[in-house]
């Protein structure tokens, strides 16, 4: 064991040595030999040179070595200077002869680093950096520090650093302050802590200079065996404004690389400019900032993970979440710019998503928006949904620019002079190559013109949804010219064919405006060509419609409405028709109207009815009417029916005229019903009264010149009769019951020819029109003072007549029958029907005292007669004067005998008379006869008869016997013998 004295001696010796060394060290440090050795060592290891002007050694307050005015030159790698370098070596290693710096302080360094050009790697050699490769690079980089300075702390004050490559400036750091702590416990366990600030960082990229100001960077790195972690405690920039912190973890477990960053108050405009300049064409920066153009991000988080460092930049591995304020988002593919954007933004799986967005879109305010856009080039996903408080002209401009679909664009182009605003939802998507648009708008307030419509459309409220080949309208209220609509709901789709589904709506149509437009369509022009003008208003209080426009047979339609003072001017009616008021309903099969007040000419009617078959073809009209029509209306109706008959009558026939049977007016209709069908029967049933005439109840059918009176009841103070008359292709029916007086006919017809007479009875005729069919007659009929006017102009008068029918025969008994000045008194006949003929067998008929019995046969339009005329010992003064209608005055006795026959139509009978005639006059005086007088004059002048003949005008001509024999040949009587 050493003694105390020996130990004290040893310590004293060591202290003296150390003091001696310390006293000698400054001289040694400043010696040229040390500089030479130091440069040699540095050049051997780095290939560079270091020089300093002066070196100082200090013991207090801490052992340190200070090198002043240091210059470094590492050939083409680095050059620069440092005002001073302070090295604080660790004390105990120094005692062992080891120089291990514990702290290094660089004061005002100004360094230029020239980065070497990396060797190009073959594509097969290029690979993503793995954990093992990163570990290897760290081991190589820290190998020198592990042995030389495992606990080094580096300070830099007021430093400047310039980086260049191939003599091109890359960056410049100004006023750098740095504190770097290195703690290496063993080769596979290190920790680095860094605190730094830079007043200005200048970057040069792509011929552009970027300046970052007020940079503060604090962080640490730590490695423990197979795990690396780098934490960024603070990264702050004053310009551009930026605050970021985060961590990078590299481990042997999957995923090997994981990066998380958080930031706040990031200025997008300046950050975007810097990022794009730095990144160039590098993804994902380019893709992200192609959409994100400006604004401020109040909060942002970044996460990425992968199996390599390069995988951290893969869009599919990146998740970014942030809150954008007053931002600008652009969709360059469709030239759409959103400004003043506020909302949440997420980038995940290469897709940019925005939610809870509010924005400005070219003059419109947007809110509650969502956005999806693919950032990668391998996808064209895009979808934008945005609620808009829209300026409609600007919205139209946006749609036209964004949506390139030709049909959609054509539809939008048809809208012109658009003014107004709306609140709506804009939906664009689902891909950028074929953007489809949908617009859902509410609170509409607009005016616009639309191609094809003659008047502007105004909308004051409602909703509209507009998509490709589909329009949906809900609760629309507005105007169309002077017309108005409300509660209008409709779907219009033209995917395959134009299909309309109108579910509700109220309309007030001003026909003054609408009719000229409707009448101009090719589909309506022909049908409405005779309607000159329509005025008034048509209201629809409810309307539904469903079907394809080009298949009207499948339309489903229903509506309820009213008319207000509608006026119609048409060439078919000589005056304006006014429909003052009325209600109507319609469906797919019929149009029904009620209580429609109509005025026209001198008609005043209330109409109700049903029109069936519309809108394809009108195939039935059911009409009820009440009211009055005057003489002008009756005249028009009669002329219209005659024109219709004339149009249907062959050219060889002459249509019947009815001038003598015009009814008196006004006519008052009560409960009248009219049924019309095309190419079928038109029927009328109802009551008609005449102001000073009878009341009529009619049940009538009319079809192509065939008037069928099923029942006609005539009643007034004189008459009470019912008549039925049916004439069709199968049979002829006539039924008369009651009393019909001529005064009733006088009050019914104008210029009527029934100036006296009366019918009374119950008589029925049923006559089938087929050959060999036998008619059936029943009943009795009495007439008095009847006058029958013939088409030839003559007339037949009947004093009293009684008809009794039973089966196929009618017995007629008349007290007197007259024709012109001829009177048959009495007349008895039997009328029979056989084999399509009417046989009139006259058993008793005295004409001028001559019995004229015989047979008249009527077969259709052909007549034949066979009469025997016999008279014995007749008084010539009465009978012959009667026969000659007073042209001959004679006395004496007459025997008359003739048998005449004739055939032909009625007007031909007298021209076709055939048969003998014999008249024998005895013991009388001829007082007046033009024929006899002229004969005597001829005899006197020619003196054929000797002596003087009597003067017929003065003395008359006495005869004892005159016998005349002759023959009827047509319309002539041939005198064969006179004696």
Cα distances (Å, whole numbers) of residue 187 to 143, 190, 257, 650: 8, 7, 22, 127
Residue 93 lies in a domain: no
Q: How far apart are CA 288 and CA 717, in angstroms?
A: 105
Q: Are residues 623 and 744 in the same domain?
A: yes
Beta bridge partners of 352: 347, 373
Q: Are residues 751 and 624 in the same domain?
A: yes
Does residue 582 contact residue 592 with C-beta atoms inside 8 Å? no
Residue 163 lies in a domain: no
Residue 109 lies in a domain: no
Rounded to the nearest 5°, which phi and psi values hold at 43?
Answer: -70, -35
Q: How far apart are CA 236 and CA 263, in angstroms?
A: 9
Q: How far apart are CA 845 and CA 324, in angstroms?
A: 124
Rounded to the nearest 5°, which phi and psi values hold at 821?
Answer: -100, 10
Of 448, 481, 514, which one is at a domain's C-terminal end?
481
Q: How far apart are CA 962 and CA 470, in angstroms?
A: 110
Q: How many other CB atoms are found less than 10 A from the CB of residue 147? A: 12
Residue-level length of the chain: 979
Q: What is the pLDDT of residue 47?
A: 66
Tell me which residue has tokens 């064409």: 281
pLDDT, tens digit (0-9, with 9 covering 90-100), for 217-235 = 888 877 777 777 888 888 8
Distance, first Cα to last Cα, the chain = 221
Q: Can you list the residues of the chain whose pLDDT is less than 70?
A: 1-47, 59, 91-99, 117-149, 185-189, 205-206, 270, 272-287, 289-290, 333-334, 363, 401-408, 614-616, 641-661, 704-705, 751-754, 771-772, 790-794, 928-956
Residue 943 lies in a domain: yes
| Tokens, residue 270 | 């300046």
Residue 206 lies in a domain: no
Q: How far apart are CA 820 and CA 815, in angstroms?
A: 17
| Tokens, residue 653 | 């026939």
Measured over all CA atoms, what is the biggest interatomic distance in the chain, rounded to whole angstroms?
236
Q: What is the pLDDT of residue 739?
A: 92
Q: How far apart are CA 512 and CA 923, in angstroms?
A: 93
Q: Are residues 577 and 624 in the same domain?
A: no
Q: Which residues contact 88 (CB under 8 A, 6 or more apart)?
A: 62, 63, 64, 101, 102, 103, 104, 105
Q: Which residues contact 236 (CB under 8 A, 6 or more apart)?
A: 214, 215, 216, 217, 242, 243, 244
What is the DSSP pairing of strand 590-600 with strand 577-587?
A: antiparallel
Q: How far apart are CA 894 and CA 923, in angstroms?
A: 10
Q: What is the DSSP letter of 914?
A: E
Q: How far apart are CA 416 and CA 413, in angstroms?
A: 7
Chain CA centroid to CA 44, Å: 91
Does residue 437 contact residue 408 with C-beta atoms inside 8 Å? yes
Q: Are residues 954 and 928 in the same domain?
A: yes
Q: How far apart are CA 893 and CA 872, in angstroms?
A: 9
Q: What is the pLDDT of residue 652?
A: 47
What letters, b where the CB count within 10 A reaches 16 and e where it falls short, cover 28-40?
Answer: ebbeeeeeeebee
Rounded to the nearest 5°, which phi and psi values hold at 475?
Answer: 55, 35
Does residue 529 contact residue 515 with C-beta atoms inside 8 Å? no
Domain count across the chain: 5
Q: How far apart are CA 612 and CA 678, in angstroms?
A: 11
Q: Tell me the three state secondary structure of residue 617.
A: coil
Q: What is the pLDDT of residue 206?
A: 66
Q: Are residues 507 and 415 in the same domain?
A: no
Q: What is the pLDDT of residue 949?
A: 52
Q: Are residues 266 and 246 in the same domain?
A: yes
Of 457, 481, 505, which one is at a domain's C-terminal end?
481
Q: How far apart are CA 179 and CA 217, in angstroms?
A: 10
Torsion of CA 4, 5, 11, 13, to 10 degrees: -160
Q: Is 223 exposed, middle or buried (0-12, 13-18, 19+ CB in 10 A)?
A: buried
Q: Are residues 640 and 731 in the same domain?
A: yes
Q: How far apart are CA 715 and CA 689, in angstroms?
A: 10
Sign of the Cα torsion 831, 832, 833, 838 reads negative
Rounded to the nearest 5°, which phi and psi values hold at 237?
Answer: -125, 140
Cα distances (Å, whole numbers) of residue 557 to 474, 504, 537: 18, 11, 21
Q: What is the pLDDT of residue 968?
A: 86
Q: What is the pLDDT of residue 752?
A: 62
Q: Which residues contact 791 (CB under 8 A, 6 or more apart)?
A: none
Q: Are residues 628 and 751 in the same domain?
A: yes
Residue 704 lies in a domain: yes
Q: List, in sequence order, every beta strand (DSSP E) within 310-452.
A: 318-331, 336-348, 351-361, 364-374, 381-391, 415-431, 436-450
Q: Are residues 332 and 397 in the same domain?
A: no
Q: Are residues 331 and 447 in the same domain?
A: no
Q: How far apart are CA 384 and CA 331, in angstroms?
A: 10
Q: Tell me the three state secondary structure of residue 409.
A: helix
H or E segment to which residue 905 belongs: none
Q: State the residue range of the domain holding 724.
A: 619-650+660-755
Sign of the Cα torsion 696, 700, 704, 705 reads negative
Q: What is the pLDDT of residue 583?
A: 92
Of 755, 778, 798, which one is at a domain's C-terminal end?
755
Q: What is the pLDDT of residue 933?
A: 53
Q: What is the pLDDT of residue 557?
A: 84
Q: What is the DSSP letter of 127?
A: -
Nearest by Cα to 259 from 302, 224, 310, 314? 302
Tell me which residue has tokens 């090997």: 256
Q: Are residues 336 and 456 in the same domain?
A: no
Q: Tell me the three state secondary structure of residue 768.
A: strand
Residue 140 lies in a domain: no
Q: Are residues 960 and 880 in the same domain?
A: yes
| Tokens, residue 627 | 């009211």
Residue 253 lies in a domain: yes
Q: How far apart are CA 508 and CA 169, in angstroms?
A: 79
Sign of the Cα torsion 312, 318, 321, 324 reads positive
Torsion of CA 692, 698, 702, 708, to 10 degrees: -110
Q: How far apart are CA 970 and CA 826, in angstroms?
A: 28
Q: Which residues contact 435 (CB under 8 A, 6 or more apart)?
A: 334, 382, 402, 403, 404, 405, 428, 429
SS3 labels along 825-853: EEEEEEEEEECCEEEEEEEEEEECCEEEE
| Tokens, residue 344 | 């949440």
Q: What is the pLDDT of residue 25?
A: 55
């Amino acid at each position: 064991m050493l003694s105390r004295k020996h130990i004290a001696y040893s310590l004293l010796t060591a202290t003296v040595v150390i003091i001696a060394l310390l006293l000698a060290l400054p001289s040694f440090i400043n010696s040229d030999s040390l500089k030479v050795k130091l440069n040699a060592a540095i050049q051997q290891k780095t290939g560079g040179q270091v020089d300093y002007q002066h070196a100082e050694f200090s013991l207090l307050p801490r052992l340190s070595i200070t090198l002043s005015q240091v210059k470094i030159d590492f050939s083409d790698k680095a050059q620069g200077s440092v005002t001073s370098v302070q090295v604080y070596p660790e004390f105990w290693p120094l005692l062992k002869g080891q120089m291990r710096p514990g702290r290094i302080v660089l004061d005002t360094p100004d360094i230029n680093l020239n980065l070497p050009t990396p060797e190009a790697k073959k594509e097969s050699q290029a690979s993503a950096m793995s954990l093992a490769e990163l570990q290897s690079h760290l081991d190589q980089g820290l190998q020198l520090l592990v042995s030389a300075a495992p606990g080094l702390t580096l300070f830099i004050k007021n430093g400047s650093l310039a980086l260049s490559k191939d003599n091109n400036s890359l960056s410049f750091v100004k006023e750098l302050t740095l504190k770097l702590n290195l703690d290496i416990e063993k080769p596979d366990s290190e920790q680095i802590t860094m605190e730094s600030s830079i007043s200005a960082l200048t970057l040069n990229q792509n011929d552009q200079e970027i300046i970052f100001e007020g940079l503060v960077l604090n962080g640490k790195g730590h490695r423990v065996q197979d795990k690396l972690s780098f934490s960024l405690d603070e990264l702050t920039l004053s310009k551009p404004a930026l605050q970021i912190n985060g961590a990078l973890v590299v481990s042997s477990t999957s995923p090997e690389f994981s990066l998380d960053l958080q930031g706040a108050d990031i200025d997008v405009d300046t950050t975007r400019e810097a990022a794009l300049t730095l990144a160039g064409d590098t993804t994902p920066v380019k893709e992200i900032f192609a959409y994100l153009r400006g604004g401020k991000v109040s909060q942002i988080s970044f996460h990425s993970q992968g199996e390599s460092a390069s995988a951290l930049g893969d869009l599919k591995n990146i998740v970014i979440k942030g809150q954008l304020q007053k931002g600008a988002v652009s969709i360059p593919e469709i030239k759409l710019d959103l400004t003043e954007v506020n909302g949440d933004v997420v980038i995940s799986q290469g897709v940019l998503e925005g939610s809870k967005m509010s924005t400005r879109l070219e003059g419109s305010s947007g809110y509650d928006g969502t956005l999806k856009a693919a950032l990668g080039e391998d996808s064209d996903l895009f979808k934008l949904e945005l609620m808009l408080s829209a300026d409609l002209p600007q919205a139209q401009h946006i749609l036209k620019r964004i949506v390139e679909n030709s049909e959609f664009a054509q539809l939008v182009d048809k809208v012109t002079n658009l003014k107004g605003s709306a609140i709506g939802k804009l939906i664009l998507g689902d891909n950028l190559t074929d953007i489809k648009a949908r617009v859902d708008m509410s609170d509409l307030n607009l005016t616009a013109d639309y191609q094809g419509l003659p008047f502007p459309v105004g909308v004051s409220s409602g909703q509209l949804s507009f998509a490709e080949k589909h329009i949906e309208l809900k609760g629309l209220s507005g105007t169309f010219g002077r017309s108005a609509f409300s509660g209008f709901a409709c779907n219009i789709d033209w995917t395959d064919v134009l299909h309309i589904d109108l579910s509700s709506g109220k309309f007030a149509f001003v026909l003054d405006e609408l009719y000229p437009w409707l009448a101009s369509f090719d589909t309506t022009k022909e049908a409405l060509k005779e309607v000159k003008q329509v005025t008034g208003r048509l209201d629809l209080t409810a309307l539904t419609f469903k079907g394809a426009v080009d298949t009207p047979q499948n339309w489903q339609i229903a509506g309820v409405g009213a008319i207000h003072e509608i006026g119609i001017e048409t060439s078919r009616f000589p005056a304006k028709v006014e429909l003052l008021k009325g209600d109507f309903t319609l469906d797919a099969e019929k149009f029904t109207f009620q209580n429609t007040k109509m005025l026209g000419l001198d008609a005043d009617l209330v109409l109700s009815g049903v029109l069936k078959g519309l809108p394809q073809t009108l195939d039935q009209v059911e009409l009820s009417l009440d009211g009055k029509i005057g003489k002008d209306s009756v005249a028009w109706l009669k002329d219209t029916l005659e024109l219709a008959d004339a149009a249907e009558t062959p050219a060889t026939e002459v249509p019947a005229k009815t001038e003598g049977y015009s009814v008196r007016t006004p006519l008052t209709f009560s409960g009248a019903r009219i049924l019309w069908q095309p190419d079928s029967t038109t029927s009328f049933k109802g009551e008609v009264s005449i102001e000073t005439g009878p009341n009529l109840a009619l049940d009538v059918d009319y079809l192509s010149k065939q008037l069928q009176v099923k029942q006609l009841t005539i009643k007034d103070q004189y008459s009470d009769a019912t008549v039925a008359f049916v004439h069709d292709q199968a049979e002829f029916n006539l039924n008369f019951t009651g009393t019909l007086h001529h005064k009733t006919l006088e009050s019914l017809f104008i210029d009527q020819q029934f100036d006296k007479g009366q019918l009374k009875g119950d008589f029925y005729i049923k006559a089938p029109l087929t050959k060999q069919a036998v008619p059936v007659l029943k009943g009795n009929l009495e007439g008095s003072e009847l006058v029958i006017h013939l088409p030839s102009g003559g007339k037949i008068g009947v004093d009293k007549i009684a008809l009794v029918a039973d089966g196929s025969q009618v017995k007629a008994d008349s007290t007197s029958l007259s024709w012109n000045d001829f009177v048959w008194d009495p007349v008895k006949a039997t009328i029979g029907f056989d084999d399509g003929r009417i046989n009139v067998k006259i058993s008793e008929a005295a004409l001028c005292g001559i019995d004229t019995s015989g047979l008249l046969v009527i077969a259709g339009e052909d007549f034949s007669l066979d009469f025997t005329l016999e008279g014995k010992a007749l008084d010539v003064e009465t009978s012959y004067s009667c026969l000659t209608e007073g042209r001959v005055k004679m006395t004496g006795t007459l025997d008359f005998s003739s048998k005449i026959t004739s055939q032909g139509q009625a007007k031909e009978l007298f021209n076709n008379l055939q048969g003998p005639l014999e008249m024998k006059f005895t013991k009388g005086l001829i007082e007046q006869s033009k024929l006899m007088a002229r004969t005597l004059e001829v005899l006197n002048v020619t003196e054929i008869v000797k002596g003087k003949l009597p003067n017929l005008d003065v003395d008359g001509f006495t005869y004892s016997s005159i016998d005349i024999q002759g023959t009827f040949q047509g319309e002539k009587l041939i005198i064969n013998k006179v004696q």
